Chains A and B, each alone.
Chain A
Amino acid sequence: MQVTAENSPVIEVKGLAHSYLPGTPLETVSLHGVDLEVRGGETVGIIGPSGSGKSTLLYHLNMLMRPQKGDVRVFGRSLNDPAADAGEVRRRVGLVFQNPENQLFERYAGDDVAFGPRNLGFSPSEVRERVRRALEMVGFPFLFKDRLVSSLSTGEKRRVAIAGVLAMDPEVLVLDEPSASLDPSAKNDFFKIIERWKKVPGRAVVMVSHSMEDVAELSDRIYVLVKGEVVLTGTAREVFSHPDILTRHGLTLPIPALVIERLKAEGLPVRSGAFTVEEAIKAIEEIIGA
């Protein structure tokens, strides 16, 4: 497995532009020249209101869409290059769709997880090993492979779907609204799985989410995408210290930050700049003197 050096860009997007139905009277521009970078070892969050082009951007990262204008480089190789191999890109960049439990089609869980590795042409014993590892990564024992998919809960189905992507052994995991319709404990379990996966050096995560709190918790860097353009980018701390820009585009700060701001407005000498629950707790504890 190719290990990418920490902090070298695994994905580079430069000037990416895209419109649906180009050249027709119904043409809609979805991306206006987007620049984005993902480096090994980091988690990049992409936030933005509905219709901002987030999903379209993701589809370019694993060659589901080829750039109409601009360039996308994955592991140094440009996707505009006619020799670029979609199969190879999709193996190294694993895209987990929204509500991925909808894509399960096999009767038994193990078969669905094996779909990806089998498409890659691995031998039955290699497939078996990958399925075992993938199931374990999402918290299931290997015997889970014989469970009927129709007997699983939504949360379990989602974990099976994610295992299906992990079984292909990607180096970058791209997640579209990963916590959609998950209850808080399922969400927590899910993020633990991602964190555990990311421990291997060189792996990176790209996450699109509506939830400011999730993005605040997990992202090293954030891109704010509005109407197909990046209006703000930087580390999480940098991005959330511009509440004016965020609110201008219909976005809010994460709830912990809002709580701190509210406390400040009431006159309390609480330090700002906290935007995760932990930091907010710390800031409040400081002034309580606990």
Chain B
Amino acid sequence: MTICTIPNWSGWANWCAITNWRLAALYIVLALLVLYLLHHYFVKRQGEGHFTFDISKRTPLKVVRGSAQGIELSCRLPFINDGKQFGALIDVFTRHYLPREQYDALEIDTNIYRVSDPRTEKYWDAKIFYVGEGEDVVIDIRLVAKTGDIVSALADMPDLPLDIFQKTCSRSDYYYARTYLTFSSDELRAALKEALDEAPAEEVPAEEATENE
């Protein structure tokens, strides 16, 4: 007669080994998850750089120079890094949207540059801005009448949409963003009127200058 049964120790040890292995794997997974969540929280808290071009603070268009054929206008607006980290403005450029299907009387050219770094070749020198830093940019718009008469060319002109594109990078992937800007036809015509009213004597159209010589 058997009084007591001898437990199957080898089976028990195997079971324990498997359980320990499972527990170890579970702990590793849990630790990785906690680390991931901590890093995710850290990244969220640390944040990113972010640039805002404040179109509400845009100055009115000012005439830089004008002639019978065309005018060159200019305005300024500020941008700021209002994010939580440094940010690099790698590239900034303008794009105007007035297709020939909509209006074909003008040649339009636009340019943007930082006040501290005036340029005419449309190059943007990449620069890092820390949190709260910013500057003013200047937007130049050159309108030249295809017919040679800027007054008539602007008479029926619609609004001029112009986007500011920025290639930005901070702690994460670089990205492109755009700021929408519209110059109303009234503002453009008012600027032209101002140019004509103040028409300086030295601003003589190219053909007339040649004739005078």
Q: Do A and B come from one complex?
A: no
Chain A positions near chain B (C-beta within 8 angstroms): none
